[in-house]
Every structure is written in structure tokens, then in C-alpha cells.
Amino acid sequence: DTEVTQTPKHLVMGMTNKKSLKCEQHMGHRAMYWYKQKAKKPPELMFVYSYEKLSINESVPSRFSPECPNSSLLNLHLHALQPEDSALYLCASSQGGGERTDTQYFGPGTRLTVL
Amino acid sequence: QKEVEQNSGPLSVPEGAIASLNCTYSDRGSQSFFWYRQYSGKSPELIMFIYSNGDKEDGRFTAQLNKASQYVSLLIRDSQPSDSATYLCAVIGQAAGNKLTFGGGTRVLVKP
């Protein structure tokens, strides 16, 4: 089973709203990722959690706040977003451990629209 | 020079033909190479990975890796209209801190 789930599938929010994206995996993976993908572009890495600790923050604005409550869950808290933040937000997970075969599996994504 | 480069396409292929996709990378320390398929509006789906020189086959898909020339390719045999999608090449390399670096993707159109 290589399933990563994400909720919600779609989210529309105003610039003053606070919302959260959720991601879950039950594959025993120890690394989890947030990516942002704009239309016709490849995914861009935002954050990496390894063994529940934030290991990479790709200089993402503070209006995006990640959280890893446990090894199966990953949240992305959103506050005061801008219209240009509208995109497909992808969660991924991998076994972790730095092995060269560390394959990332993606969830279905959350389509975010900021009005 | 981009770290991972792909021809953006579209690559137009008749149904039943072989689609050949290429990807070049700049980091000689790259260790792992992945092909993802992404349908419009959907998330990337792993097709296969390869980390040794040579060919790796999985059903209608064959990945080919040539580390000396720093390219990896994907062949899709007996192409079907359902193969119409964007194919993303991704590489894990030391220069990028062992992060997954994506190419821009190649759009493939299989025409009946």
C-alpha cells in the first residue's frame, strides 16, 4: 500500500482566513514533505520533516506554517495568504533514512484558491 | 543550466507506437532517478525508479540510465491514449542536499 491521503481536496479562502491542510500516511514512512505546484510547472519543495523534526524549510514565507503531530500526520497551517499562493499543494512521504532508493509517494493534493 | 532538463513537448505519438522521453541532469553525484506521470489536475504518480546504469523494464515502460553521459530516458511501448500526460523526471543528487529535483516535465499526447 503506497497511499498518502490529503484533505480537503479543494479549498477556497479569503486573504484574512486561517485554514489547515492535512496529510496522512500509514506506510511507516519517517519522512514527509510539502510541495507547491503551479500550473504547467513541476512541484516546488516547501518543507521536509524527517523523524517528526523539520529538516528543510525552503525559505517559505511565514504565512505557511508546517506541523508534524506524529509520524503519520503532517499539517500545513495557512494564514493571511495572497492570491498568488493559489496552487496545488502536494504532500509526499518516503521511508527516510537517506537511502538512495528513498522513493517519494505523493498524495492527491489540495487545490487551493485564495480570493 | 538547469539541474534537470526535459523537452517540454508536446511529444505527439500515434497509438501503438513507442514514446521516447529524455532527461539530462547536471549533478554527477546524482544517485537515484525517478519517472512520475501526472495527469492534468492530478498529483504525480510514480512509474519507476532506476539507480544503476542500464535498462530497467516494468510492463510497457523501460527506463534507461547512462551516468557517464548524465541522461536518463523513458520508453513507453505500445502507447495508449491513456498514456497522454506530463512525465516528470526527478533526480536525487548530493549537490541539492539529497532533495528530489524535478525537471520541467514532458507533455505526451497519444493520438488514436
Single out the residue of A86, A107, A105, A89 nearest to residue A35, CA to CA: A89
B44–chain A Cβ distance below 8 A for any pair: yes
State the pLDDT confidence band at A1, using cuts at 50, 70 and 90. Answer: low
Query: Which chain B residues are closer than 8 Å to A102 by Cβ?
Result: 32, 92
List pLDDT tens digits, range A25-45: 999 999 999 999 999 999 999
Q: How many CB pairs under 8 A join A and B?
A: 48
Q: For chain A, say whether B100 makes contact (Cβ under 8 Å).
A: yes
SS3 A83: helix
How much of chain A is in helix, strand and coil states, percent to nearest 5? 5, 55, 40
Q: Which of B43, B97, B104 sits opposite A90 (nearest CB)?
A: B43
Distance of CA B38 to the CA centre of its chain: 11
| Cβ–Cβ gap A101/B43 under 8 Å | no
Cβ pair B42:A90 closer than 8 A: no
Dump pLDDT digits (tens) for B37-88.
999 999 999 999 998 889 999 999 999 999 999 999 999 999 999 999 999 9
A92's grid cell: 509526499
User: What gap in Å lies between CA A40 and CA A61, rounded to an integer?
Assistant: 22
